[in-house]
Structure 1
Amino acid sequence: MHHDTLFAALQTADMLEIDGLHAWEFTLEPTQLAALEAGQPGDGEAPFLRVECMDGRTRREWRFSLAAVQAASFDAANVCWTLDDTQGSHTLRCLDAFIGSDDDGEAE
């Protein structure tokens, strides 16, 4: 499902792929998130999105400001978002998890 903004996509995502690495650890800063959900503008330069993953044995972490998330552009051809931080440009893909059922299909 395509969302109009990266912010909207992040709210429904279960996992992210950043620069080709799968990152199931990501958080939206709670104070900023509460402000946005209450219709307030939030602090554009404050940290908003934190993404963590393991690249082999190396822990990698990215932090993006609210302004960076709001300025992200969607690449429809590759179904991903492009956003920038102090290290440069990053490709972010929002993924939905598939959840299996505990039912084994047998009726009791």
Structure 2
Amino acid sequence: MTQAASLLAALQATDMLEIDGLYAWHFELHADRPEQLLSIEVMDGSTRRLWRFTEAEVAAAQFDAAGEVWTLSAGASQHRLKCLEALVADSDAPDDEDEEVE
């Protein structure tokens, strides 16, 4: 994924997210709630983990081009976010199994 001008722009263009090495199965942007602009939910084994970030925290995130990650500070904690692109199968492509062999 190419570098966006800001973490917010990157989040708006991504469909998968990694936080601190964990793949987020669910994340949301709440444009109407600047006090909780970004929420991320992850299952870490059998433990559900949840992070919430304000608009100011998202705006202050710094991009590390070498690791292609955003460093996001929330209070005394720092988190590393990586925006990823999901692989999506083309539903219009013919299935190999359906093709007849002569």
TM surpasses 0.5: yes
Unaligned stretches of 5+ in structure 2?
none
User: How many residue pairs are counted as aligned between the two chains?
Assistant: 95
CA deviation string 1:27-71 (max 9, x = no partner)? 011414xxxxxxxxxx4xx11100001000000000000000000
**Structure 1 outlier segments of 4+, above 4 Å:** none
**1:50 aligns to what?**
39
RMSD of aligned C-alpha atoms? 1.6
Identical counterparts, % of pairs: 46
**1:2 aligns to what?**
3
Distance 1:2 1:85 in 2: 22
2:56 aligned counterpart, secondary structure: helix
**1:12 aligns to what?**
13
Unaligned stretches of 5+ in structure 1?
33-42
Distance 1:57 1:71 in 2: 32
**2:78 aligns to what?**
89
Mapped contact 1:53–1:60 kept (Cα < 8 A): yes
Which one of the candidate residues 64, 79, 82 is aligned to 2:53?
64
